[in-house]
Structure 1
Amino acid sequence: MNPYIDIVLRSIAVYFFMIAALRIFGKKEISQLNTADVILILLISNSVQNAMVGNNSSLTGGLVAALILFILNYLLKKIMFTSKFFRQLIQSKPEILIHNGKIEFSSLSRLGITSDEMQEAMREHGIEYYKDVKLAMLEIDGNISIISGNENIKQTHHKRKVHKNLGTINS
């Protein structure tokens, strides 16, 4: 078999494995990266590199693998945009965490969100008490959106990002 066809097939297999793994292990993990998560991502990328390129450590082999990953990502986004079935297969739905001040303990437990993480998200949105939360949702991108019932509280959107020193910052 042509070595570059081999790289293409290996890259496709690794890409879909990673999509499935992220789907199985949950969306919360994507947006709330801590130091251990960043290390895990770096180690995974290093471990699957050989699975994609095999013994081919040439520049061309690496570029072919990277090109295939970009193409697959582009195609997957296009398919998800046009197909509800594939969108539901790849992405999970938003989940209600708090509704009218009432905590959805079963959702928090199933999603692995601790009370400390929920309180942190509330503080990031300027809310101190659960009773002040009109709606809290775990969005499809893994972020927690919160709407308060109080018009005096400024609604903000905070997304957690990984900073260069491997810590998290809020923006």
Structure 2
Amino acid sequence: MEPYLNIVFRCLSVYVFMIVAIRLTGKKELSQLNTIDVILILLISNAVQNAMVGDNTSLSGGLVAAGVLFLLNFILKKLFLKNPRIKNFVLEKPEILIHDGKMDFSAMHKLGITSDELEEAMREHGVDQVKEVKLAMMEADGNISIITGKSEELKHTVFKRKRIHKTLSNIGGA
């Protein structure tokens, strides 16, 4: 039984470390996968595998590690519902990037978004000029939502920038 408790402790430690590390790198990193991100994910998973199971390479050891990770994820989602402080620490809040046609450069700088990236998101939604944007938000999941004021039918439509999501971005039911 002791080897399995060791696996449980190791998984808990790695899980908490990964949440903190992802939180510190910011939500933009969770919203896009480029070649460097894919390589990083693969290397991290390989690096932490031994940290979680140690010398135990048995099927039961791997199943215990996977079970602990699923359980920790389930518990964290339940904690989000009961304690907003934990949710706010782990998950980002939406940030305004454009309001009434004016870019918020300080928010963009804080999030590591360039004006070129924001303009690319606008073009993906068929918006030519910043002054046409009523509101652009970097959502908690890393998507950029854009609300335009071009016409009455578009005024209340939120366009979502399509991005590839990492599995860990689904923490909290997103």
Q: Same fold (TM over 0.5)?
A: yes
Q: How does 1:32-71 map to 2 (within 5 A)?
A: 32-71=32-71
Match of 2:86 in 1: 86
Match of 2:110 in 1: 110
Answer yes or no: is the 8 Å Cα contact 1:31–1:159 preserved in 2. no
In the TM superposition, residue 155 of structure 1 has moved relative to its aligned partner by 4.6
Match of 1:159 in 2: 162
Distance in 2 between residues matched to 1:156 and 1:101, nearest whole Å: 16
Answer yes or no: is the 8 Å Cα contact 1:125–1:155 preserved in 2. no
In the TM superposition, residue 124 of structure 1 has moved relative to its aligned partner by 1.5
Deviation string 1:95-146 (CA, Å, 9 cap, x unpaired) is 1111001010011111110122111111121111111111111111111111
Answer yes or no: is the 8 Å Cα contact 2:145–2:158 preserved in 1. no
Deviation string 1:16-59 (CA, Å, 9 cap, x unpaired) is 00000111000111111111101111110110001100111111
Q: When you count helix as a share of all residues, which structure comes out higher? A: 2
Distance in 2 between residues matched to 1:91 and 1:161, nearest whole Å: 18
Q: How many residues align?
A: 162
Give the AA of the match of 1:42. L
Distance in 1 between residues matched to 2:81 and 2:150, nearest whole Å: 35
Answer yes or no: is the 8 Å Cα contact 2:143–2:160 preserved in 1. no
Match of 2:72 in 1: 72
Q: Secondary structure at the match of 1:75?
A: helix
Name the Cα RMSD after superposition. 1.5
Distance in 1 between residues matched to 2:32 and 2:77, nearest whole Å: 22
TM-score relative to the length of structure 2: 0.88
Distance in 2 between residues matched to 1:57 and 1:84, nearest whole Å: 38
Give the AA of the match of 1:61. G
> Percent identity at matched positions?
60
Match of 1:166 in 2: none
Answer yes or no: is the 8 Å Cα contact 2:95–2:137 preserved in 1. yes
Match of 2:30 in 1: 30
Structure-2 change in CA distance of 1:134 and 1:20 (3 Å) = same
Unaligned runs of 5+ in 2: 166-174
Unaligned runs of 5+ in 1: 163-171
Post-superposition, which runs of at least 4 consecutive aligned residues in structure 1 deviate over 2 A? 151-159
Give the AA of the match of 1:120. E
Distance in 2 between residues matched to 1:63 and 1:135, nearest whole Å: 46
Distance in 2 between residues matched to 1:135 and 1:43, nearest whole Å: 38
